[in-house]
Amino acid sequence: MTDFAFVLGLGDDALIAAQRLGEWSSRAPTMEEDIALANIALDQLGVARLLLTYAGELEGKGRDEDDLAYLRDEREFTNVHLVELDNGDFAVTMAKLLFLSAYQKPLYDALADSPDDRLAGIAGKARKESAYHLDHSAQWTIRLGDGTEESHRRMQTAVDQLWPYTYELFESFDVRPQWTSFVEEVLARATLDRPTDSRAPTGGRRGVHTEAFSYLIGEMQVLHRAHPGARW
């Protein structure tokens, strides 16, 4: 039987990634990129809805996707730290998206063959979108890393800053070999150095989050909590 906690964690990853990416609306470097990031955010949100709906059914307590998204407290969310970190500059956002999508793509590829037909169907949809997210973030990483001196510096700083948070991705489903192979190839093409292994912040899957998460969840839930039970 598919594990509730596993599906919930994947749903939370996608939900919080969508929230962060949505913050770029009207703020991206170009109009085209504004639309691209909004579409990626919507992709993540769509998968989050499917996963959270399924998680609610597995839990068996009558909670639906909205209950799980808007009526849980901070410690009840089980997303990894990587997705909740502040967007930072554009280089940071692209590094986050690269690391996340390089994990989600092989994850969904594997789950598409799951004996759980429901989970396999969700993964089959999600892996097509993840392929685009991965290509988009890889192209930007290469463009910035192998660009000007300033863009290279910013991209390297972003990679160094986020690298420790990538280890937590593989706690519930280990696709590290596929992730490492793709990411290292992108970094090489971008003339970026692979960071050395260091401390690995963890705890997100257990409900222990960064300070940035409390502000994010407050903004995400404010309308629903201000008007409980409202129907539009």
Q: What is the pLDDT along the chain (232 residues), one digit of tens a residue?
A: 689 999 999 999 999 999 999 999 999 999 999 999 999 999 999 999 999 999 999 999 999 999 999 999 999 999 999 999 999 999 999 999 999 999 999 999 999 999 999 999 999 999 999 999 999 999 999 999 999 999 999 999 999 999 999 999 999 999 999 999 999 999 999 999 999 988 889 999 999 999 999 999 999 999 888 888 777 6
Number of Cβ atoms within 10 Å of the Cβ of 20: 23
Q: Which H, E and C letters describe 129-198, residue by residue?
A: HHHHHHHHHHHHHHHHHCCCHHHHHHHHHHHHHHHHHHHHHHCCCCCHHHHHHHHHHHHHHCCCCCCCCC
Q: Domain boundaries in the chain?
A: 4-193+210-226
* Residues 105, 134 contacting (CB under 8 angstroms): yes
In CATH, which superfamily holds the domain spanning 4-193+210-226? Ferritin, core subunit, four-helix bundle (1.20.1260.10)
